[in-house]
Copies of this chain bind each other. A is one copy, B any other.
């Protein structure tokens, strides 16, 4: 007797009501929607039903794609970490060729501040992720390492250790700064924070 697994269907092996390709696209649509909306509303700020509706679906099919809401959240966080790279790729920008100033201009910007849904999960979800379980924290820790390494490659310094120090300082200041700028209800103060942080980050290669 064959037991059919709904979660990880093998293409072309089992009969189905929608093509495997359609399901995969639906899956991606759900994850992408969640990735954006969760950055906007927090990891617990939006429910399964609303997320599905935003993806153009209804609640019913949810558990054909994910074992639990937590599973979607994990995938959405992963997707959020990848989105930065995907966005650059879509614009034809090579991340390796970006200078520290390029990174600063993008990251520490009013646009990034005002559009958390398209932005860095470290700026949008710091508190939420720090309260999350091993799964989400593990994904984020990987993201941290990649970000440090990428920034370190753009930093100046006598040796690798110094470049890494600068990268960590810059990244902590960037994520913290955008977070504080989002909090401030005083636009002038918010802009002052952004400008100050931007200058520091843009200068780590000097």
Q: Which residues of A contact B (CB under 8 A)?
A: 40-42, 44-45, 116, 122, 124-131, 134, 137-138, 140-141, 144-145, 165, 168-169, 171-177, 179-180, 182-186, 189, 192-193, 196-197, 199-200
Contacts and interface: CB of A to CB of B under 8 A. Distances in A.
Q: Is the interface of A mostly helix, strand, loop or mixed?
A: helix
Contacts of A177: 168, 172, 176
A169 B179 CA distance: 13
Contacts of A140: 183-185
Given A42-B128, A131-B45, A144 B183 contact: yes
B179 A127 contact: yes
Nearest to A168: B196
Nearest to A126: B179
A200 B186 CA distance: 27
A95 to B, nearest CB: 20
A63 B190 CA distance: 35
Contact of A176 (B125, B141, B175, B196): B175
A174 B126 CA distance: 13
A196 B144 CA distance: 15
Contacts of A127: 42, 124-128, 179
B183 A129 contact: yes
A95 B176 CA distance: 23
Given A169-B173, A177-B172, A183 B44 contact: no
Contacts of A200: 169
